[in-house]
Structure 1
Amino acid sequence: MRTLATAARILRQLRHDRRTVALLVAVPSLLLVLLYYMFRNAGPTFDRIALIMLGVFPFVIMFLVTSIAMLRERTSGTLERLLTTPLGKLDLLFGYGLAFGLAAAVQAAVAVGAAYWLLGLETAGGAGMVVLIAVVNAVLGVALGLFCSAFGRTEFQAVQFLPVVVVPQLLLCGLFVPRGQMAGWLQAVSDVLPLTYAVDALIEVGASADPTGTMWADLAVVTGAAVIALVLAAATLRRRTP
């Protein structure tokens, strides 16, 4: 009940923050439109890149929004007041995960709908699996954002974790260069980054009409990484910024 109450509070805050709602809902679709016009004469390139970005956009956006939101609650004293109540750290963090997971479901549904029905994205698998993977990716971004927010003192410092935590995963996930063509040590690093498995799951959706065992295994890895990140965030969460 405490987790649900926390999620409801965050959703109410989101509802009154129009800029954040616009960032969550509209920006991924607009970026997909940009990709469409970039690659519309490049054959199947758009289908490959757009499919992967449908999972990457929620991850990046949720990481950024969540890390800033949590740091704002800590610096404003809201977090300290909340933790004087029976609310536990895990209640708080899983409430964040639930609230932003619901927001991610709306975000993913809008972006996937725009990609398939407006921009003509074609995949062997169904749009429903793409939405599911996008939501799990978003929850992973939320979890990592909550974890990283514990190490920042200002909102600007929270943004600085983006090139440290997110960009390496984007570079090594196989989006730009197939992982099989990377140096051995880069492949080893890629193997421990959760976004790699999210991209692999999306590639499976693009290649197979039915969900495969590999796709479910990849999705399980991403889910497990999100849960571990939430637990670590609870362990490192501070009541206030010194």
Structure 2
Amino acid sequence: MKAAMMWATCARVLRQLKGDPRSIGMILVVPAVLLALVYWLYQNETLPPGLPRTFDAVGLMMLGIFPFVVMFLVTSITMLRERTSGTLERLLTTPIHKAELLFGYALAFSIMAALQALVATGTAYWAFELRIAGNAGWVVLISVLTAVLGVALGLLCSAFAATEFQAVQFMPVVVIPQILLCGLFVARDQMNPVLTAVSNVLPLSYAVDGLQEVAAHTGPTPALAQALAVVAGFAVAVLLLAALTLRRRTP
């Protein structure tokens, strides 16, 4: 895989995004706005002295979930447009390798994901005074990894959709079950055993586990390292699987 080809694809996608203010707003602004809604939900709660705010726990997990959802939507729809417009077909007639093309897309959206994570995390800490034991850098890293995971799944799912509406229909299949079973609503070890087993193979569960480790410890832990490795491994594996869907439709 040639880095020059990958960077060329990345630069092209970033130029396209630059001319699409709605996508930029979706990526950079929407997660921070949704986080604000979560903050206002718990703004008036009354707690005994010494107890942590509910927002510190829920808002922290949302820093991993919102980027995942947003990047899945943006990537799946953008990639579908590339397929239906014929752009992807034309690119596949050039000497560029499928892996170079796909990882170029992933890199472009990962750069946007990093900006998204910085904006959302900065909003949580400075505007809403998020208080946890761990370092904010780990929160940003996990947010970026979950966003990249959303990018990878979006690239994969776009291959099975013929319209933008169909791309959105993958949300209930791919995204919502992960949100329900990641430990946001019920601790994973307190779920039905079958649901716990399903949760154990869903990557978003490990992202939430990692965020909870950051919340509870001042420094990195083996459990945090494991969570980061699992999420990153899932993202790479899904990207490689998505590369298999990049096929020319014409000889």
Q: Which residue of 2 aligns with 1:221?
A: 230
Structure 1, gaps ≥5 residues long: none
User: Does residue 23 of structure 1 match 2:26?
Assistant: yes
CA deviation map 1:111-169 (0-9, x unaligned): 11110011111011111111111001111000011111111111111110011000000
Q: Which residue of 2 aligns with 1:190?
A: 199
Whole-Å separation in 2 of the counterparts to 1:240 and 1:208: 51
Whole-Å separation in 1 of the counterparts to 2:211 and 2:29: 21
CA RMSD of aligned residues (A): 1.1
CA deviation map 1:71-120 (0-9, x unaligned): 11010000000010111111111111111111011111011111001111
User: Does residue 39 of structure 1 match 2:48?
Assistant: no
Whole-Å separation in 2 of the counterparts to 1:175 and 1:24: 22
- From 134, 140, 155, the counterpart of 2:149: 140
Taking the TM superposition and a 5 Å limit, the aligned residue runs for 1:136-215 are 136-215=145-224
Whole-Å separation in 2 of the counterparts to 1:146 and 1:26: 22
Which residue identity is paired with 2:118?
A: A
Residues 10 and 99, structure 1, Cα contact 8 Å, conserved in 2:
yes
Whole-Å separation in 1 of the counterparts to 2:248 and 2:186: 42
Deviation at 1:240, TM superposition (A): 4.7
Deviation at 1:237, TM superposition (A): 2.5
| Secondary structure, counterpart of 1:236 in structure 2 | coil
Q: Which residue of 2 aligns with 1:115?
A: 124
Taking the TM superposition and a 5 Å limit, the aligned residue runs for 1:80-95 are 80-95=89-104
Taking the TM superposition and a 5 Å limit, the aligned residue runs for 1:44-59 are 44-59=53-68
| Secondary structure, counterpart of 1:209 in structure 2 | coil
State the identity as a percent.
Answer: 63
Deviation at 1:238, TM superposition (A): 3.5
Deviation at 1:39, TM superposition (A): 0.8
Deviation at 1:41, TM superposition (A): 2.9
Equivalenced residues, count: 241
CA deviation map 1:45-86 (0-9, x unaligned): 101010000011110001011111111101000000001011
Residues 79 and 240, structure 1, Cα contact 8 Å, conserved in 2:
no
Which residue identity is paired with 1:198?
A: A
Whole-Å separation in 2 of the counterparts to 1:109 and 1:20: 17
Range moving further from structure 2, 37-46 or 225-234: 37-46
User: Does residue 104 of structure 1 match 2:113?
Assistant: yes
Whole-Å separation in 1 of the counterparts to 2:92 and 2:108: 19
Range moving further from structure 2, 86-95 or 193-202: 86-95
Deviation at 1:239, TM superposition (A): 3.3
- From 232, 245, 248, the counterpart of 1:239: 248
Whole-Å separation in 1 of the counterparts to 2:233 and 2:112: 20
Residues 74 and 240, structure 1, Cα contact 8 Å, conserved in 2:
no
Give the TM-score, by structure 1 length.
Answer: 0.97
Which residue identity is paired with 2:15?
A: R
Which of these two proteins has the greater Rg computed from alpha carbons?
2
Following TM superposition, where does structure 1 have runs of at least 4 consecutive aligned residues deviating by more than 4 angstroms? none
Deviation at 1:213, TM superposition (A): 1.1
